[in-house]
Chains A and B, each alone.
Chain A
Amino acid sequence: MSEGAVEIKDLVKTYVDDRGRPTFTAVKNINLHIDNGEFMVLVGPSGCGKSTTLRMIAGLEKITAGSISIGGRVVNDMEPKDRGIAMVFQNYALYPHMTIYNNMAFGLQLAKKKKDFISDTVGRTAKALGLNQMLERKPQALSGGQRQRVALGRAIVRSPIVFLFDEPLSNLDAKMRVQMRSEISRLHGQLGSTMIYVTHDQVEAMTMGDRICVMRDGLIMQVADPLTLYRQPANLFVAGFIGSPPMNLLRGKIYRKDGGLAFTENSEKNALTVPLAGPIQDLANRYVDKEVVFGVRPEHLSEEVKNGSHVTLKSTVDIAEPMGSESLVYLKAGTGNLIARIAGEHLFHMGQEVAVQLNMDKIHLFDVETEEVVH
């Protein structure tokens, strides 16, 4: 069944002013396929065009060029209510003058559904969301989490084919956010509907998405499942955006040394030098005497050698953040600043000398010009 599949083709959005003159192109020709029942997360820094894309899918924003299909039907000129979608907004967007019941029933009432059907649907949904005690209250009398749950319920009662979420958790406090996160994931499991979820928070993206679409400046940088995105970032942007703390990215040159290859950071003196070992050498071969960006995730700097090829780096501790079972250690190796996630209940102190093992199997090299990963 593909009734909930969403197909975005060559989609462009250029905002115009009152007189119809173009002001800003927020989405620049994107292509994206979302499977029926998939949980797709659009993630990217603020202003990258995520909301614009979502609002075009919803039908709240006119499409400048390209097409959007839902379930095989092109919906470009369709009213939002006919698209089979429901949307949850960041600011809840409840109707403040209506009771919770009416907030949830509004869409069904407009669709002229039978009274019994409405009260049954709303009642059941409210119960599932733990809102059945509050149906006669106004939104004002609810907490933030409850309000967002009403917004969720309002979306559910429309039984849409595609759920759209625009940063629904951003206005909640941290604890509520984590709770609602799992609630939405559970909902996805129960309903099996397609969900498109916009967030700027990469943790939310990683924990919730079947697949994640990373956007930047109106373009898609990479679409992949969370692990692929983490392990094989397609470019510098994704490498830097996904992961917390972010990947260590050092700019430098590959050159020949002692019959092998080495990476040296760009610096006048005392530059960090990493002799290359393992499979990375084949890639590096193409970049001899050329500039590259060298990337390694914090957890691939460790104290003890695991299997695979390793290179030992001498470094001193700059700052350490003990987190209990592991520590985030900010290291200085030559001129290079590296963050290491070191497992174990250690305490590090400033100025301490540490010999870290750099796992050479987990290195990424990026082309400086194209910013693409070298592979």
Chain B
Amino acid sequence: MTTVQTPRKEESQTGTVRKRLTPTQKIAIRKVLAHAFLIGFIILVLVPFIMVISASFRKGNFAPSELIPDKISLEHWKFVLGIPYQEVVNPATGETRIVKAATPPLLWFWNSIKVSFIASAGIIFLSGSAAYGFARLYFKFRSATLGTLLILQMFPMVLALVAFYVILDFTGQYIPWLGLNTQPGLIMIYLGGISSYIWMIKGYFETIPPSMEESARIDGATQFQTFIRILLPISAPIFAVVFILAFIGYMSEYPVASVVLQSSDNWTLAVGANSFLYEQEKLWGRFSALAVLSGVPITVIFLLCQRFIVGGLVSGGVKE
């Protein structure tokens, strides 16, 4: 640490007459490299996205090839938005027909938003209160239960498809609106996937010093008031994150939804979009338009939640 090697000394040792870079030049080179890397990365992320957008504006239903479509057409968007349009059936005779979706795709869009929003809100409620229990209350088999949750979450939901089917079939016999082919039924299944969120929120709760809640308790707050008025507001960032993650997940969830929801007016966007990919003919255009559409609510939710995900919300209350 005491000796600082000067460039000149090094030169004389190696005997080369290499041109030395000044520190400013070194930093400049590093900056260029970093930017090149980042730009490459952005391209990697953006290209598929742009391909989907361009496919939704391209005439015909081909798998996307060039990025900028040569013939721009709004037919897929019209279809998706439920606006009838004319399509040429036979170019030789000039015969046309009016195309309009049997089930308006916007209904699927609305279904998706409904299901995702309610399920995510439910997730927040359930995993939030469960996490509070795990983080702050002491009861028998607490760590055993936590461990079980951790292991269970490692199995993908798809593995339980058969079970979900049977469960909903059963509940449907007694509570028709909660059975197969109902959105409440799907939401109920979705609410089962809370274990990873419990872990996330519990981890956050544990970073909040208990003295804040103890203070509230001395101030006369009940346990419930403490939870609602102290812990929840402080934990807004993690709830925003969980809401976004859950919402994104449910907007694009396909396997469970496709098994549970059978009639096309119940479908969610993901199921509806997949219905355009027939074995014989894959209607990429419509699929892409729907995919872009599904990004809209996600973006809106993200922008709404973003203001809660600010760091330092807890800071100031305590000193570690």
Would A110 and B221 be within 8 Å (CB), given that A89-B211, A97-B233 are in contact?
yes
Which B residue's beta carbon lies closest to that of A98? Answer: B233
Which A residue's beta carbon lies closest to that of B317? Answer: A96
Q: Does A347 contact B (CB under 8 A)?
A: no
Which B residue's beta carbon lies closest to that of A91? Answer: B318
| B:216-242 near A, CB below 8 Å | 216-221, 225, 230, 233-234
A-B pairs with beta carbons under 8 A, tally: 94
**Chain A residues with Cβ under 8 A from B218's Cβ?**
58-60, 80-81, 85-87, 107
**Chain A residues with Cβ under 8 A from B96's Cβ?**
none
**Chain A residues with Cβ under 8 A from B318's Cβ?**
89, 91-94, 96
Do B214 and A96 touch across chains, with their CB atoms under 8 A apart? no
**Chain A residues with Cβ under 8 A from B214's Cβ?**
58, 60, 87, 89, 93
Quick one: which of B142, B214, B230, B314 has the most chain A CB within 10 A?
B214
Q: Does B41 contact A (CB under 8 A)?
A: no
Do B234 and A96 touch across chains, with their CB atoms under 8 A apart? yes
Quick one: which of A85, A89, A140, A147 has the most chain B CB within 10 A?
A89
Do B142 and A110 touch across chains, with their CB atoms under 8 A apart? no
Would A147 and B316 be within 8 Å (CB), given that A18-B143, A60-B217 are in contact?
yes
Do A80 and B313 touch across chains, with their CB atoms under 8 A apart? no
Q: Does B103 contact A (CB under 8 A)?
A: no
**Chain B residues with Cβ under 8 A from A111's Cβ?**
220
Do A95 and B212 touch across chains, with their CB atoms under 8 A apart? yes
Q: A110's contact among B138, B220, B315, by CB below 8 Å, is which?
A: B220
| A:51-78 near B, CB below 8 Å | 58-60
Q: B220's contact among A19, A81, A138, A147, by CB below 8 Å, is which?
A: A81
Would A171 and B319 be within 8 Å (CB), given that A18-B142, A93-B212, A97-B234 are in contact?
yes
Q: Does A144 contact B (CB under 8 A)?
A: yes
Inter-chain CA distance A341–B319, complex, in Å, is 37
Q: B138's contact among A18, A92, A95, by CB below 8 Å, is which?
A: A18
Inter-chain CA distance A146–B90, complex, in Å, is 81
**Chain B residues with Cβ under 8 A from A97's Cβ?**
233-234, 313
Inter-chain CA distance A60–B313, complex, in Å, is 26
**Chain A residues with Cβ under 8 A from B314's Cβ?**
96
Q: B316's contact among A81, A96, A106, by CB below 8 Å, is which?
A: A96
Chain A's nearest CB lies how many Å from the CB of B187?
Answer: 31
Q: B319's contact among A19, A80, A91, by CB below 8 Å, is which?
A: A91
Inter-chain CA distance A93–B230, complex, in Å, is 11
Inter-chain CA distance A144–B316, complex, in Å, is 9
Q: Does A139 contact B (CB under 8 A)?
A: yes
Inter-chain CA distance A73–B140, complex, in Å, is 33
Q: Does A323 contact B (CB under 8 A)?
A: no
Known: A91-B211, A91-B319, A96-B234. 20 other contacts (CB 8 A): A20-B140, A60-B218, A80-B217, A81-B220, A85-B218, A90-B211, A92-B317, A93-B317, A93-B318, A95-B216, A96-B315, A97-B234, A106-B219, A111-B220, A142-B316, A144-B319, A147-B316, A154-B215, A154-B219, A158-B219
Closest 3 pairs between A and B when the two form their complex, measured CB to CB:
A140-B316, A96-B317, A107-B219
Binding site for B on A (CB under 8 A): 18-20, 58-60, 79-81, 85-87, 89-97, 106-107, 110-111, 138-142, 144, 147, 154, 158, 171
A-B contact pairs, 15 of them (CB 8 A): A18-B143, A60-B217, A81-B219, A90-B211, A91-B209, A91-B211, A93-B212, A93-B214, A93-B317, A93-B318, A106-B219, A138-B316, A140-B312, A141-B316, A171-B319
